[in-house]
Amino acid sequence: MSLTRRNLLAGAGAGALALSSGRVLAQTAEFSYKYANNLPVSHPMNLRAKEMADAIRAETKGRVDIQIFPNNQLGGDTDMLSQVRSGGIEFFTLSGLILATLVPSASITGIGFAFPDYDTVWKALDGDLGAFVRAQIAKSNLIAMDKIWDNGFRQITSSTRPIQSADDLKGMKIRVPPSPLWTSMFKAFDAAPTSINFAETYSALQTKVVEGQENPLAVIATAKLYEVQKYCSLTNHMWDGFWFLANKKAWERLPEDLRVIVARNINAAGLKERADVAALNAGLQKELADKGLVFNQPKTESFRDHLRKAGFYAEWKGKFGDEAWALLERSSGKLG
Ligand code: X2X
């Protein structure tokens, strides 16, 4: 008996389908696409992506098969960005700040202390600011899905000292993702930032190439960074999210009816992932403290002051331009 798509779908229960889905269906799918990302399989991004791929396969009756490559299996972010541009992979989730190496204005969402809470983030990103960034992305041969996925508010960890105020960052060897805005912000704090892809971050911390790094608790937990860090300072110094990107040609190759199904499922999964990450970040402090991380909650004022005095806000307002900055300040209030 040949295992055609039809009798596989008709015959298999949901569990069996999920288990066998990958290889068997990939051979029969009309569109077999790769989605790659930098996070561990246990992160909500990958849990929701798995559900999403299963739903797309079912709804398109096996015509669209999305294979997931988590955890930098296909290379670090810089490498995956080249691959999604060339069509080597069809889908990729990337922080707007790293995407800014290609689309400069995409880092505007990472300006220090711009968003006080998630309500403000989603209002801006699902509103005018998000639309502005997506329009810039569209000029670069990439398509960004409507709903940005959440990474979260970022916290600083270190193996050497807790960060109580901006002065404690002075001279600190800290890993930042490869992105001009990240480097600029930590230079403004007088730290010593080094650009390192997430793929090499754990080992850079372990071998003490750097003392610290900064990430949301959901990443610190799922990537087990607590194993190689001692302190966690809840600075909430910036919000970060992942644009769900598609290679433009691969996207346009999908017939309109399939495109609608794929986009709807990706955006729906993104909304669920946002809820998962917010809940995780809110509950992880105790779990990480049990694993030995020492927490402190600094006041944000000294950090904002430091950025202001270093001319960080003025510099980036100049780079992004008045129009984009006005869109940001519509949500954040006056910055700098
Ligand atoms: O590289 C990071 O630190 C991470 C996982 O947060 C991003 O993808 C921006």
User: Is the distance from the beta carbon of residue 217 to the nearest atom of ligand 1 less than 6 Å?
Assistant: no
Q: Does residue 15 share a domain with residue 144?
A: yes
CA of 336 to the centre of ligand 1 (A): 25
Tell which residue, 247, 321, 293, 202, has the closest CA to residue 83.
247
Q: Does residue 193 share a domain with residue 94?
A: no
Instruction: Give dist(CA 5, CA 194) in Å, integer.
Output: 49
Q: Does residue 124 share a domain with residue 40?
A: yes
CA of 241 to the centre of ligand 1 (A): 9
CA of 311 to the centre of ligand 1 (A): 25
Start-to-end C-alpha separation, the chain: 69
Query: What would the pLDDT profile of 272-297 be if each residue is shown by its tens digit?
Result: 999 999 999 889 999 999 999 999 99
Q: Specify the residue with its C-alpha closest to ligand 1, atom 9.
A: 95
Number of structural domains in the chain: 2
Residue indicated by tokens 């600075």: 235
Choosing from 45, 71, 77 the residue with most ligand 1 atoms within 8 A of its CB, the one to mutate for a pocket test is 77
CA of 76 to the centre of ligand 1 (A): 11
User: Is the distance from the beta carbon of residue 95 to the nearest atom of ligand 1 less than 6 Å?
Assistant: yes
What's the predicted TM-score (pTM) here?
0.92
β-strand partners of 69: 36
Q: Does residue 28 share a domain with residue 78?
A: yes
Answer whether 264's CB lies under 8 Å from 181's CB.
no
Q: Does residue 280 share a domain with residue 137?
A: yes
CA of 77 to the centre of ligand 1 (A): 9
Q: Does residue 314 share a domain with residue 220?
A: yes
Q: For residue 14, what pLDDT band results from cuts at 50, 70 and 90?
A: very low
Q: Does residue 161 share a domain with residue 209?
A: yes
Q: Specify the residue with its C-alpha closest to ligand 1, atom 2.
A: 198
Q: Does residue 321 share a domain with residue 306?
A: yes
Instruction: Give dist(CA 139, CA 73) in Å, integer.
Output: 28
Q: Does residue 260 share a domain with residue 145?
A: yes
Asked whether residue 27 carries a pLDDT value surpassing 70, the answer given is: no
Q: Specify the residue with its C-alpha closest to ligand 1, atom 7.
A: 95
Instruction: Give dist(CA 215, CA 154) in Å, integer.
Output: 5
Q: Does residue 189 share a domain with residue 100?
A: no
User: Is the distance from the beta carbon of residue 219 to the nearest atom of ligand 1 less than 6 Å?
Assistant: yes
DSSP letters, 85-115, are HHTSSSEEEEEHHHHTTTSGGGGGGG-TT--
User: Is the distance from the beta carbon of residue 156 to the nearest atom of ligand 1 less than 6 Å?
Assistant: no
Which residues form the domain of 57? 5-151+241-284
Q: Count other Cβ atoms within 10 Å, centred on residue 170.
A: 11
CA of 177 to the centre of ligand 1 (A): 6
Q: What is the CA radius of gyration of the chain?
A: 21
Q: What is the mean pLDDT of residues 23-38?
A: 82
Q: Where are the alpha helices (DSSP H) in the chain?
A: 5-11, 14-20, 26-28, 44-59, 77-86, 96-99, 118-125, 128-138, 180-188, 201-206, 217-222, 248-253, 256-290, 301-309, 312-320, 322-332
Specify the CATH number for the domain of residue 220: 3.40.190.170
Find the range with the poorest average confidence among 14-23, 106-115, 322-331: 14-23
